[in-house]
């Protein structure tokens, strides 16, 4: 008795589920991809629901974030995305969480690359 031919490609002999080894591997990988995609798609509504439930907190730019004093037109915006009065405009005064020192080091290293001259050969 002769072995059955592959149901999918009809070139090779089929063994597992009537498929050759090549088609069998492809069908298994397709099943894995379909399962992963269906798992991802089932999680999307939950994520969207969580995003809708979290309230959007907007910083009040009319008052100082530290002392709650009314600013008027002269409010100082810090790199920590808050507005401050003239008394608390410096990072030390309002306990700023932004790392100004690391940002300065990073900026200087980008603007001034390290230049090394080739060494001279000794005579």
Task: Return the CATH number at 95.
Answer: 4.10.1110.10
What are 63-102's pLDDT values in tens digits? 888 888 888 887 888 888 888 888 988 888 888 888 889 9
Tokens 């980008």 found at: 110
**Spatial CA neighbour of 83 closest among 109, 59, 57:** 59
Average pLDDT estimate for 20-36: 85
Q: How far apart are CA 62 and CA 57, in angstroms?
A: 15
Contact residues for 17 (Cβ-Cβ < 8 A; gap 6+)? 24, 27
Write the burial class of residue 18 (CB in 10 Å: 0-12 exposed, 13-18 middle, 19+ buried).
Answer: middle
pLDDT at 56 over 60: no
How many domains in the chain? 2
Full domain range(s) for residue 65: 57-111
Note if the pTM is more than 0.75: no
Q: Given its phi and psi angles, is residue 111 left (phi above 0), alpha (psi -120 to 50 degrees) or beta?
A: alpha
pLDDT > 70 fraction of the chain, expressed in percent and rounded: 84
Domain shared by 5 and 49, yes or no: yes
Domain shared by 49 and 96, yes or no: no
- The residue out of 13, 33, 56 marking a domain boundary is 56
Q: What 3-state DSSP class applies to 122?
A: coil
């Amino acid at each position: 008795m002769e072995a059955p031919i592959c149901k999918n490609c009809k070139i090779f002999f089929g063994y597992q589920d009537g498929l050759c080894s090549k088609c069998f591997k492809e069908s298994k990988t397709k099943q894995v991809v379909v399962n992963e995609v269906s798992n991802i798609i089932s999680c999307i509504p939950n994520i969207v629901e969580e995003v809708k439930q979290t309230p959007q907190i907007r910083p009040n730019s009319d008052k100082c974030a530290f002392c709650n004093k009314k600013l008027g037109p002269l409010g100082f915006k810090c790199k920590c995305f808050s507005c401050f009065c003239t008394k608390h405009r410096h990072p030390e005064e309002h306990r700023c969480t932004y790392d100004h020192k690391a940002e300065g080091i990073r900026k200087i290293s980008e603007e001034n690359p390290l230049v090394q001259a080739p060494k001279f050969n000794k005579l």
